[in-house]
A and B are shown apart, each in its own frame.
Chain A
């Protein structure tokens, strides 16, 4: 991939600072530990855990998309491009499984 060369930038300012990635990483790690604990600790009914696991997974994926992939700071159209196929896929899965 060829890199685009800027045309004689006269003065560069420090770029926009995003949300601290360490905080996002800590939340992702804690959520993963909770997920694994819910799945392997005996005595918790599996059927009742499934919605919680799916919700945690959705939150983790959203955090990665919003803060690591910077969708929160991007043009809204990028988010629309990214989310639309996922919405279709979820619809397809729900239809197939019901």
Chain B
């Protein structure tokens, strides 16, 4: 079982010159706190993944047993594609932001890249709002029909996660400008990165299953 708990490359990366022991760069209690926070956050993400997998499964089951199921129009697929590109690009900028603080201690670039990520997240939410308006007002879908229930619950919960991510990014930007993060102290930014990439990952699955299949 030792291989499951061996030091990761990320933990080894934070150490001092001449040693690979994390305990020498950060106090033992602090290092344990960091490890516990990361473990807790991965458990949180696992529970979130279970929720979304359950909803995706529910979507497929409802679709499989529904008497009628609307085909997605070309415009709807293209709008969702633009949204997908926005989320993929926002994940890239989050990675670049974390790299800026982790490798070069550049707080301004961290704030800049997080700002771009938040803007792309807001763009995604705007696209989703346009799509919802089309489905509800023009096509008359809602919670009264199987498609509306399955579609709005799944994509709505994901949209809520994007909204939380945008607000979280805004808070991180404010703290970064106050100098809260350094190349040795960026765990919170790293947790945000995990969350944002998770939201991106879930959308990749939703995009294929809801819009393309």
Contacts and interface: CB of A to CB of B under 8 A. Distances in A.
Interface of A: 1, 3-7, 9-17, 21-22, 24-25, 28-29, 32, 35-36, 38-40, 50, 53-54, 56-57, 60-61, 64-65, 68-70, 73-78, 80-82, 84-86, 88-90, 92-93, 96-97
A32 B12 contact: no
Given A5-B30, A54-B213, A15 B5 contact: no
B205 A85 contact: no
B105 to A, nearest CB: 9
A80 B45 CA distance: 12
A75 to B, nearest CB: 5
Contacts of A56: 208
Contacts of A65: 197, 201
Contacts, number: 178
Question: On chain B, which size bracket covers the interface?
Answer: 35 or more
B102 interface: yes
Interface of B is mostly: helix
A83 to B, nearest CB: 9
Interface of A is mostly: helix
Interface of B: 3-10, 12-17, 25-27, 30, 33-34, 37-39, 42-43, 45-47, 49-50, 53-54, 56-57, 60-61, 64, 74, 77-78, 81, 84-85, 88-89, 91-92, 94-96, 99, 102-103, 180-181, 183-188, 191, 193-194, 197-198, 200-201, 204-205, 207-209, 211-213
B6 A75 contact: yes
B84 to A, nearest CB: 6
B91 A93 contact: no
B77 to A, nearest CB: 6
Contact of A57 (B181, B186, B204): B204
A47 to B, nearest CB: 10
